[in-house]
A and B are shown apart, each in its own frame.
Chain A
């Protein structure tokens, strides 16, 4: 039984809302899905590529990646624990059953439109967010992209990566895998072999993208993995701010999310990439279920004086393995990493960044805020590497951890490799707890205990939240408060 298409109908398993802090995105959507049978082989990949009508170079890219992946071992160095993953038990392609080419939103399954509306991402023309263009990805495929036409008027390409493969194959061939090579790591190789959809952004020279671009990822099917691929290219003197959001239903099993994101900036270009990740994190009591979030994100500051800034607010997933990084190749280029990672229940996170300084006078800044509550385990892992030609390079790193409760833990693993004596590197780290005195102080001003906790934590994360676009900063604060409601007595 290989590659025979199945039909599955997901049943509505909407869970009752027990309280505000319950995971409110844990529902599934009853749409007819088509999926490949589980399992991975060269034939699966060929079938996938054929199904998507891909050009030969892409099939070749996939097969090379697959062959490489077969020779690789799953990384074991991260500070996380989980049973072995059976890669033959994952459905590598799951999509809502619909016409292959959609003429417009009218043809998207209304159940899916409803799903995104419930998630706070209205896609239809009347209600869509005014200043944010959204690409909505449902399991393996992009179902809709808003504001496309308006963006094209500015020369900005924003579409699903599948569409980009059809419409702009030369750009894909030039940049895909140029930042994260197919054999970069185990999960990146797997993604390169089987990636199904994701977003593509191209900003032409001298253009400031007129609105925020955003991709919303939704995993809906229990047996599926999500292997999305995002590629953003910012030409000379251009700018874009991009945001991704993620949720998934509650299942007792684990779903694998192995994404690859590649960013490229040419001379004087800037990409601001923000993530608010709220995948289902498993049962808070038992740790059962939840998403394995094994993601490779890397930006290449190819041009002089270009800049890539990563901001992430990681509040979900049962395990997070993720190091959004910057390769600072262009002289004078700047890399930034601002991170809030929250673990509670039985969540585990090993996250951080790599700043690779290659060019002269390159600068990087790392601000990491880890919050651990309940039985959560939070590790910051960061590498600062100064190449031998990177004279005048500077790095500043600050890693702060906050512990909530006695069962949680925080770990910091900073790595430093400097091959140039002229580099200036600063590192600061701290670990703290919410003190009873701080809580009493706020309470004695008439602020409730819950709100006091939320204020203290949001204050702790302020430097990171400040980096988010305004409306998302508000959302991130609320999310943090909601997530910790039951963790703080």
Chain B
């Protein structure tokens, strides 16, 4: 057995408050290199909280358990350090940063990650080449380079931009929070293609989704059902299909 990329042990966490609200009530999850995991669950089950806690959002606080990433606990680590170490969060609602050129942002972020890995930073020209290639794969227009980060992007364009960031940062583990929401079928196919193109034996993906639809395009090795802050059931791809037809209620019954 290889060493896990991510090992979550009995994690309890929630909104820092005041008042504090516990949302995750003891979650354990292990992800190995080369795997694709999917977490499904109804609204309010704690899916997005899990992704934000992993990435280190300051609104959330951990009250118990541990999150170990590549052999090191993430707890107490700043969000930017987690990212440079190779953790990527694809946002459900990507934020607009007006006036900051998308290409410049991507280059700064990409180089921060390269520095961390002991690789040479890319100058604007070399970076341009890399970026053009990734954008071509995602069928993105060149004008997205010079526009402000997500500024005036449509919902679908924002999601594509998330995958572009993932491609540039080349993370060890990508947590994609409802990347499929708000996408039409064509956009979903492109985004899925982008995700699949980045899969390697040494990295992993954690998909967080409401719908089984995404899983037709990005095939998961494991599916976990999260409800009321706990993983109620884990299985393979067929579990997602079962949830699709039966809903979630039978799991608690």
Report which A residues bind B (CB closer than 8 A): 435-438, 440-449, 451-452, 455-456, 458-463
Contact = CB atoms under 8 A, between A and B. Distances in A.
B34 interface: no
Interface bracket on B: 20 to 34
A460 B79 contact: no
Nearest to B85: A446
Q: Is the interface of A mostly helix, strand, loop or mixed?
A: helix
Interface string B54-65: 011111000000
B57 A447 contact: no
B39 interface: no
Interface stretch (B24-32, B96-104, B228-236): B96-104
Given A436-B58, A441-B91, A459-B148, A447 B112 contact: yes
Nearest to A437: B95
A263 to B, nearest CB: 28
A437 B169 CA distance: 20
Contacts, number: 78
Nearest to B109: A445
Nearest to A432: B98
With most chain B CB atoms within 10 A of its CB, the pick from A438, A447, A456 is: A447
Contacts of B165: 445
A455 B80 contact: no
With most chain B CB atoms within 10 A of its CB, the pick from A446, A451, A460 is: A446
A458 B99 CA distance: 8
Given A438-B96, A442-B97, A444-B89, 8 more contacts: A438-B95, A441-B94, A444-B56, A444-B80, A445-B169, A448-B78, A452-B80, A459-B97
A416 B186 CA distance: 50
B108 interface: yes
A451 B100 CA distance: 12
A41 to B, nearest CB: 51
Q: Is the interface of B mostly helix, strand, loop or mixed?
A: mixed
A446 B100 contact: no
B147 to A, nearest CB: 11
B37 interface: no
Contacts of A458: 99-100
A460 B99 contact: yes
B148 A443 contact: no
A438 B95 CA distance: 6
B116 interface: yes
A444 B79 contact: yes
17 contacts: A436-B58, A438-B97, A440-B57, A441-B94, A442-B109, A444-B56, A445-B109, A445-B169, A446-B83, A446-B113, A446-B169, A448-B80, A456-B100, A458-B100, A459-B100, A460-B98, A460-B99
Interface string B208-229: 0000000000000000000000
B84 interface: yes
Contacts of A462: 99-100
B79 to A, nearest CB: 4
B97 A440 contact: no
A448 B105 CA distance: 12
A311 to B, nearest CB: 16
A461 B84 CA distance: 28
Interface in B139-170: 148-149, 165, 169
B80 A446 contact: yes
Contact of B58 (A440, A445, A447, A456): A440
Contact of A455 (B57, B83, B100): B100
